[in-house]
Chain A
Amino acid sequence: MTDYLLTFIILSPLAAAAVLLLLPASQGLAIRLVALIGAGLTLPPSLWLCLAYDRARGGFQFEQDIPWVPGLGIRYHVAADGISLAMILLTALIITGGVFASWTRQDRTKEFLALLLLLVSGVFGVFAARDLFFLFLFYEIAVLPMYLLIGVWGTSTRERSKEYSAMKLTLMLLGGSAFILVAILALYFQGSPRSFDLDDLAKNSYGAEFQRWVFLCIYVGFGILAGIWPLHTWSPDGHASAPTAVSMLHAGVLMKLGAYGVLRLGVGLLPEGAMDWSFLMAVIATINILYGAFSAMGQTDLKYIIAYSSVSHMGVVMLGLASLNPIGVNGSVMQMFSHGIMTGLFFAVVGLVYERAHTRIIAAMGGFARRMPGIAVCMTIGGLASFGLPATSGFIAEFLCFYGMWLRYPALALLSVIGIVLTAVYVLRMVQKIFLGRFSEQDYPHLSDARTTEWVAIAGLAVTLIAVGVYPRPLVDLIDVGLHTIPGIHSPHAVTPFASPPVVPGSAVPSSLAE
């Protein structure tokens, strides 16, 4: 039965989207309920799969493999390992929260929710796909609805219109898709017999030159979506213009598709290529961390602060990835999860604040905690996770990324750690400007705390941040098992030679640890 669950997770939002199209637009409640069911039905199976995953066996499980176009070697092949499962769980949490957060939307809700659900089906598909054709198909399904979602339902800022943001986002991401397509075709034509199946592709051996350039294509193509510097500028404008649920989903989950792609296709299939470029990746990741943090510090618009913080945090993801050792890459996937939840929470809260205060300029706010204590608490928890406070998921994720990087390029770890103080500066400044200080009754007479459905969204995400932070073991173990399916991370190159190497698997445990 569990073998069908992945397909069920992929199809559940899609089916709900189809039902939505059949409903009359006047049926507001029915529309919301259908969307909620479509999104919410992904959550229990996602959790169940995480628990049911056989950690002793490892590898890819819950497999379903149906020939699709046999002549071209295309198969509908889905399966999940620990990494995929962590990402699927993240997506299920965010989309459920996203539907709750858009509960009070009034304008063309039906089409909005239908597109959102379509998009999320694509996201689930990418995380589960084992066939490059389907992976790419799902990837495009996940990217394209964004154009409409931002262009139609977005909000323009003083400088940038929503149409501009939507167009920029779509064009830049499609530019990335071109690189990905080249890489996929290169991989396809390299194999014999030709196949799009990742299992088959993993069996091939690729030459060093091939690995180097195809990896670069994958890194650039998926990297654009992961927000790598200097190809990140679609993200601040896009996230700032998008409506709440879309920002949540985009910053929370879609950016992870980029990092996931680099990890699964790049490091997974082309480990030597990854080695060749690991220094460049680490340098760019470090730039991302510091540059994003400084940019966030220089913003006045709340949504731009959050958007640039995503640029900074995705830098941490890529930093851990570039370490190419189990600790760093585990941290990287943890950070994907943690940042997904955290930024989803951020955008949800920002949406609530904007809806009530009708401004996003933080200098105009102040003392809001008086009227929205619950929102203030949730935002602060997100902020704490953002600068990596222990007992929130952000801490262990960043700690592992920095530790992993320290074992590979200590100098870059040294530089990037500065990010933790920069993040604290802009997060605490933001919290102070919005929620603390004097409250002006005249300027904001109608502020109120979150409503029931909104509570579910923000409190659920905040509790997740803390739960994972206090006891990250289940998630870390799940990811750790998943990492064994990625040869690049356990290859001999990936281990930094130390006298007492903390990263070599299988060697004797130091006596100090055994006690």
Chain B
Amino acid sequence: MNSLPLWLIPLAPVVAALLAGVLALTRRAERAAPLFTLAATALSGIVALGWIPQEGGPVPRLAFEWLKIGANFQINLGVHLDPLAWIMTAVVCVVSLLVQVYSLGYMKGENGFARYFAYLGLFTASMLGLVVADNLFQLYVCWELVGICSYLLIGFWWQKPSAASAAKKAFVVTRFGDVGFLLGVLLLAAVAGSFQFDTVMQAVARVQAGELTAIPLVSAQVFLWLAPLLLFCGAVGKSAQFPLHIWLPDAMEGPTPVSALIHAATMVAAGVYMVARLLPIFVAVPFVSEIVLLTGAVTALIAATIALVQNDIKKVMAYSTISQLGYMMLGLGAGSLDSGMFHLVTHAMFKALLFLAAGSVIHAMHHAADPNDLRVMGGLGSRMRITAVTCGVGVLALAGFPGLSGFWSKDAILGAALDKGSPVALLGLAVGIVVAGLTAFYATRMWMLAFAGSARSADAEQAHESPSVMTLPLILLAIPSAALGGWLHMGHRFTHFLHGAQAHAEPMHLWLVAVTSLTAVGGIALGWALYRAPSAQTDPVERTPGYALFANLWYMDAFWSRGVASSMLALGQFVAWFDRTVIDGAVNLTGWVCYIGGRELRRATNGQAQTYTAAALLALVIAALALILFHNRAPDRARIYSSSPIIRTTDARPHTSHSDTGQR
């Protein structure tokens, strides 16, 4: 089958984004912009649907030689649709499409309507380009492009100073990770002589086997752990892992549908996808995979504890996303591609659902001073039934309620950690179970505060259900949130899709299933019990031990802003001062010395013959003394001059040329 239409997957949204961009710039027919982007995203999805990878079938691969220098340095851009890429393509297209439909209602009448859809189209294109990449270069290019789309969309309401700052923070913090990523790409490409994934992975295998030894900068042993860790830096930044997770909660300044698409379902998962894509490199050295696992576990725990005490509905979601991304890393660190990707897919569905539901709530509360504040909500369930029910499905899926999507994928991750069985993996397992309980609790708390009980403010009393263009995506996402996990788990569909029907799938551990189910149900029950009739005085979570630590975000934001950011700016100021004072001072000093020297020497030319004669006499005496004292050195000097190539080529005799210049 001719695979040329596959180019449409990344390119159709580009064209749509450009068209929408023209509308945005000319301020004409802004309302037509979503038509382009919606159609293009649907087209990408339909094309992908036509190329569902078949077992044993060829993997479609298109390549375009983008750059070539000399005979060997070549950069390709291409489309490569293997099962892993196909799954991500499907997720991106589905979520992007639903979010765009939802945005029709959410962003209606908003200033910059076309600009919004142009950005969304550009994001979709970049994300699809990232997903279908078959080489490190394209991955890095699209990685940066989704980053800038994220910047533009977080700062969509750029008149708000907080939004402008959040956008900058998100980009700069992820860029810290990208430095490592870029270095990793350079290192791997320099060793492999290519950017292609398969060549790079072969090269790493050859280094491990001792066949390839010439590596810049480091030894083979160091290379084997350095390269994946450098790449991992990028994943830590993009997927908001500890300690670079601080940007994601701030990113909630963007429009809520954007949070659903970019900061929950797709872009933040790019780090996970990258690790999954290159997993053989990461598991080549056990130490590296343990770092991945531990980073995931620490992130999951820290973010879950912070999510416990948040009162902003989107902040709860944001920390929850960080925590769930930690789970995915935990699974990948345990060496299980399937579990990490499985959770990525189910999480994309239920977290997109939760964010869109939150958006629906915020939309209904938009008259409130802070429409995101859970404390002024309450009782919304009776006024917004569809939102409440679909959000409830999302909460249960997130909590890992038995049978729903999150349950299956979370269990796969914990099972993978158990199967690995190393001390670090078991530690990760323990953390994972604790986090499962925390997750169930905070998710329930959020739902109860928003929808249960009675209204705690006039705004909450007047809230009403969102238009159907917004509730339809909620319903459409609720279905996979509930059922997709179970369906993919049945008969190990997910594993077989990724690796073929012969692939071995680990069976579930029944006692582990029992433990996690009980933890989840316990967490939900506790949340229900505590928030069934919330007391007006204090939130129960404020009485938990460690509240101060959680509420202060484990002091990580303070560390970054006061520690790192301030010292960087201080260093900048110091360098600016140094340049002005020391370096420029030296320049000015040179000028000053010339000026003063000239002024002082001018006194010598005073027109008096006596002075001139005295000076001439003095010079004669000094010259005579010098001749007597240093006479013996003269031949050496002559030799030096004669060997100088500059002088040698002139036909003057060395001695003459020397004494000539001397007298002048």
- A298 and B148 contacting across the interface, CB-CB below 8 Å: no
Asked if A15 CB lies within 8 Å of chain B CBs, one says: no
Known A230-B583, A418-B179, A512-B199; contact A499-B141, beta-carbon cutoff 8 A:
no
Q: Pick the contact of A499: B68, B71, B183, B214 (CB < 8 A).
A: B214
**Interchain nearest-CB distance for A226 vs B (Å):** 16
List chain A residues, Cβ under 8 A from B74: 509, 513
Known A189-B649, A190-B645, A233-B584; contact A513-B194, beta-carbon cutoff 8 A:
yes
Asked if A106 CB lies within 8 Å of chain B CBs, one says: no
- A171 and B591 contacting across the interface, CB-CB below 8 Å: yes
List chain A residues, Cβ under 8 A from B601: none
List chain B residues, Cβ under 8 A from A283: none
List chain A residues, Cβ under 8 A from B593: none
Asked if A196 CB lies within 8 Å of chain B CBs, one says: no
Number of contacting residues on A, CB 8 A? 85
| A interface footprint on B5-29 (CB within 8 Å = 1, 0 otherwise) | 0000000000000000000010000
- B575 and A417 contacting across the interface, CB-CB below 8 Å: no
- A503 and B72 contacting across the interface, CB-CB below 8 Å: yes
**Interchain nearest-CB distance for B646 vs A (Å):** 5
- B72 and A504 contacting across the interface, CB-CB below 8 Å: yes
Asked if B187 CB lies within 8 Å of chain A CBs, one says: yes
Identify the closest chain A residue to B140 (Cβ): A390
List chain B residues, Cβ under 8 A from A421: 172, 175-176, 178-179
CA gap between A435 and B158 in the complex, in Å: 9
Beta-carbon contacts under 8 Å, A397-438 to B: 400, 402-403, 406-407, 410-411, 413-414, 417-418, 420-422, 424-426, 428-429, 432, 435-438
Known A209-B645, A297-B568, A417-B182; contact A437-B198, beta-carbon cutoff 8 A:
no
Identify the closest chain B residue to A410 (Cβ): B217
List chain B residues, Cβ under 8 A from A413: 183, 186
Number of contacting residues on B, CB 8 A? 72
Asked if B610 CB lies within 8 Å of chain A CBs, one says: no
- B584 and A407 contacting across the interface, CB-CB below 8 Å: no
List chain B residues, Cβ under 8 A from A428: 151, 167-168, 171-172
- A295 and B179 contacting across the interface, CB-CB below 8 Å: no
Q: Pick the contact of B179: A417, A429, A513 (CB < 8 A).
A: A417
- B199 and A510 contacting across the interface, CB-CB below 8 Å: yes
- A432 and B70 contacting across the interface, CB-CB below 8 Å: no
Asked if B628 CB lies within 8 Å of chain A CBs, one says: no
List chain A residues, Cβ under 8 A from B66: 471, 473
| A interface footprint on B174-215 (CB within 8 Å = 1, 0 otherwise) | 011011001100110111111010110011000000001110
Asked if A327 CB lies within 8 Å of chain B CBs, one says: yes
- B155 and A330 contacting across the interface, CB-CB below 8 Å: no
| A interface footprint on B23-52 (CB within 8 Å = 1, 0 otherwise) | 001000000000000000000000000000
CA gap between A426 and B646 in the complex, in Å: 47
Asked if A186 CB lies within 8 Å of chain B CBs, one says: yes
- A172 and B587 contacting across the interface, CB-CB below 8 Å: yes
Beta-carbon contacts under 8 Å, B50-89 to A: 63, 66-74
Q: Pick the contact of B212: A418, A499, A515 (CB < 8 A).
A: A499
List chain B residues, Cβ under 8 A from A414: 183, 217
Asked if A299 CB lies within 8 Å of chain B CBs, one says: yes
- A499 and B213 contacting across the interface, CB-CB below 8 Å: yes
**Interchain nearest-CB distance for B207 vs A (Å):** 9
List chain A residues, Cβ under 8 A from B213: 499
CA gap between A396 and B164 in the complex, in Å: 28
List chain B residues, Cβ under 8 A from A192: 649
- B198 and A472 contacting across the interface, CB-CB below 8 Å: no
Asked if A382 CB lies within 8 Å of chain B CBs, one says: no
- A390 and B196 contacting across the interface, CB-CB below 8 Å: no
CA gap between A437 and B217 in the complex, in Å: 45
Known A417-B183, A498-B214; contact A327-B70, beta-carbon cutoff 8 A:
yes
Asked if B571 CB lies within 8 Å of chain A CBs, one says: yes
| B interface footprint on A224-268 (CB within 8 Å = 1, 0 otherwise) | 000000100110100000000000000000000000000000000
Identify the closest chain B residue to A369 (Cβ): B158
Asked if B577 CB lies within 8 Å of chain A CBs, one says: yes
Known A421-B175, A438-B161, A513-B74; contact A295-B214, beta-carbon cutoff 8 A:
no
List chain B residues, Cβ under 8 A from A497: 214
**Interchain nearest-CB distance for A211 vs B (Å):** 10
Asked if B662 CB lies within 8 Å of chain A CBs, one says: no
| A interface footprint on B72-110 (CB within 8 Å = 1, 0 otherwise) | 111000000000000000000000000000000000000
CA gap between A499 and B190 in the complex, in Å: 10
CA gap between A498 and B579 in the complex, in Å: 40
List chain A residues, Cβ under 8 A from B68: 473, 476-477
Q: Pick the contact of A299: B160, B179, B198, B576 (CB < 8 A).
A: B576
**Interchain nearest-CB distance for B465 vs A (Å):** 34
**Interchain nearest-CB distance for B442 vs A (Å):** 33
List chain B residues, Cβ under 8 A from A437: 158-161, 164
Asked if A168 CB lies within 8 Å of chain B CBs, one says: yes
Q: Pick the contact of B186: A236, A294, A406, A510 (CB < 8 A).
A: A406
Q: Pick the contact of B587: A168, A298, A406, A472 (CB < 8 A).
A: A168
Identify the closest chain A residue to B585 (Cβ): A233
CA gap between A432 and B168 in the complex, in Å: 8
| B interface footprint on A160-176 (CB within 8 Å = 1, 0 otherwise) | 00000000100110000
CA gap between A49 and B103 in the complex, in Å: 49
- A480 and B70 contacting across the interface, CB-CB below 8 Å: yes
Identify the closest chain B residue to A502 (Cβ): B193
CA gap between A370 and B579 in the complex, in Å: 35
**Interchain nearest-CB distance for A309 vs B (Å):** 12
Asked if B457 CB lies within 8 Å of chain A CBs, one says: no
CA gap between A385 and B172 in the complex, in Å: 15
Identify the closest chain B residue to A439 (Cβ): B159
List chain B residues, Cβ under 8 A from A350: none
**Interchain nearest-CB distance for A222 vs B (Å):** 18
CA gap between A233 and B580 in the complex, in Å: 8
Asked if B312 CB lies within 8 Å of chain A CBs, one says: no
List chain A residues, Cβ under 8 A from B572: 294-298, 426
Asked if B574 CB lies within 8 Å of chain A CBs, one says: yes
Asked if B607 CB lies within 8 Å of chain A CBs, one says: no
Asked if A13 CB lies within 8 Å of chain B CBs, one says: no
List chain A residues, Cβ under 8 A from B192: 500
Residues of A within 8 A of B (CB): 168, 171-172, 186, 189-190, 192, 206-207, 209-210, 230, 233-234, 236, 291, 294-299, 308, 326-327, 330, 367, 369-370, 377, 384, 387, 389-391, 395-396, 400, 402-403, 406-407, 410-411, 413-414, 417-418, 420-422, 424-426, 428-429, 432, 435-439, 471-473, 476-477, 480, 496-507, 509-510, 512-513, 515
A-B residue pairs, 5 tightest by C-beta: A298-B576, A297-B572, A410-B217, A512-B199, A436-B164
Residue contacts A-B, CB under 8 angstroms, 20 given = A172-B587, A230-B586, A233-B584, A377-B25, A414-B183, A414-B217, A421-B178, A426-B572, A435-B158, A472-B67, A498-B214, A498-B216, A500-B191, A500-B193, A502-B190, A505-B70, A505-B71, A512-B198, A513-B194, A513-B196
20 additional contacts, CB 8 Å, given A326-B69, A438-B159? A168-B587, A189-B646, A190-B649, A294-B572, A294-B576, A297-B576, A327-B69, A384-B148, A390-B141, A418-B179, A422-B568, A424-B172, A428-B151, A428-B167, A437-B161, A437-B164, A499-B212, A500-B212, A502-B193, A512-B198
Residues of B within 8 A of A (CB): 25, 63, 66-74, 140-142, 144-145, 148, 151, 155, 158-161, 164-165, 167-168, 171-172, 175-176, 178-179, 182-183, 186-187, 189-194, 196, 198-199, 202-203, 212-214, 216-217, 568-569, 571-577, 579, 583-584, 586-587, 591, 645-646, 649-650
